[in-house]
Structure 1
């Protein structure tokens, strides 16, 4: 029996052989770009210099372009014909549309988390909130933001609804494209802390409806603060609630 021949490359319907791109490589590139966008190394609205990125990452343009397609599907970059690729930037209208949806989803998440809450998770939420109190007292906005993210993550984890969590995370990715920081507004840090107190109290009381309402109110208050900054042309920083 003769040696078996290698299988030919799979052809597209048009009969043209398609190059195989290393999934690990373009996904890694997408991950690095995503981090740079979220950290505002690549600023909202900024044109993406593909040649500079190719040189900086030490890669060819093929995995870079595949990575940009991934980010475009996530809404993090915008591909403009004959003009290139730009980091997306959310407008006042975007915020007005996204926040109410996020408030509804995170409210539902708080509802499900409260119904599933066990004593261990309740203790974790309490400890997380205690850290929020400390950060607020010291006016440590960055620390408050980080702990706030952890508080919301624990709520999502307790909800245990992977579809709900996926949609929330996708929307939060888009909100990170804003340069505004609602916590920098005078009084917003204290307001956010008070909102978290209400959320925690409802959850610890196993009041699912109350937790849902408190979480919705929290997100909508964040929307109001961001939109006030947009109206006032405030200094541009990272958005958070």
Structure 2
């Protein structure tokens, strides 16, 4: 079952409690649809909201103190990510994501990121190099602060910088699309003990390979960075129970 002994993703951090909801607000203190989406997606992937459960727009709006418009936007984003199913005349329902489906998506993600890294090593231009270095430094700083939520968002920028540097717009767009679909599951990755600091070590190897133009190593390092095996895989699956079966 080698296929089922792997899972991918860079993920981060503890799920926020209602007392912390939402963690990030706009400058004016208003809750945005993206923030609502983050909270709902974490509740879905951690099993707080079970497959088949209906998402009541009015109840969610009351919880966040907003109108139904940003809630509807958040639910539509979750539907695009495959976490929610929209049923005409019935509403939005949590969709079950099976382990086999996750493995398949993460295998494709690893291949895409590996290819982006290989091309970036050959094609990276000075502005893209500066963005990659800045994103890497931000990850270093977040890890030094032991701030997994901050690390997660900086990690997103790190991977986006690699997509930007690859010089293939189609690949970059598809990688972003799949990254967005898998972000909730990737975020859980840092629940695995010591994962944030191990991720940072892997980032250093990826940057070093891209810096010297070693496409083969950059590709291999990124694939390994995305894939999770052995005990880390078992720990991640346990964190998803009972959501993933």
Give yes or no for TM over 0.5. Answer: yes
Q: Matched residues in 2 for 1:220 and 1:161: separation?
A: 23
Shift of 1:121: 2.6
The answer as to 2:145 corresponding to 1:168 is no
- TM-align CA RMSD: 3.5
8 Å Cα contact 1:135-1:144 kept in structure 2: yes
Unaligned runs of 5+ in 1: 1-31, 237-241
Q: Go from structure 1 to structure 2 and tell me whether the alpha carbon gap of 1:129 and 1:225 turns closer, same or farther (over 3 Å shift).
A: farther
The answer as to 2:104 corresponding to 1:100 is no
Give the 3-state SS of the residue equivalent to 1:155 in structure 2.
helix
Which protein is bigger by CA-based radius of gyration? 1
Unaligned runs of 5+ in 2: 1-31
Tell me how many residue pairs correspond in the alignment: 200
The answer as to 2:93 corresponding to 1:86 is yes
Q: Corresponding residue for 1:140?
A: 147
Q: TM-score, normalised by structure 1?
A: 0.67
8 Å Cα contact 1:37-1:43 kept in structure 2: no
Name which of 201, 211, 214 aligns with 1:204. Answer: 211
Q: Matched residues in 2 for 1:86 and 1:35: separation?
A: 19
Q: Corresponding residue for 1:117?
A: 124
Shift of 1:41: 7.1
Q: Corresponding residue for 1:48?
A: 55
Mapping 1:1-241, distance limit 5 Å: 35-40=35-40, 43-44=43-44, 45=49, 46-50=53-57, 52=59, 57=67, 72=79, 74-79=81-86, 84-178=91-185, 181-221=188-228, 227-233=233-239
Bigger mean CA offset, 152-161 vs 194-203: 152-161
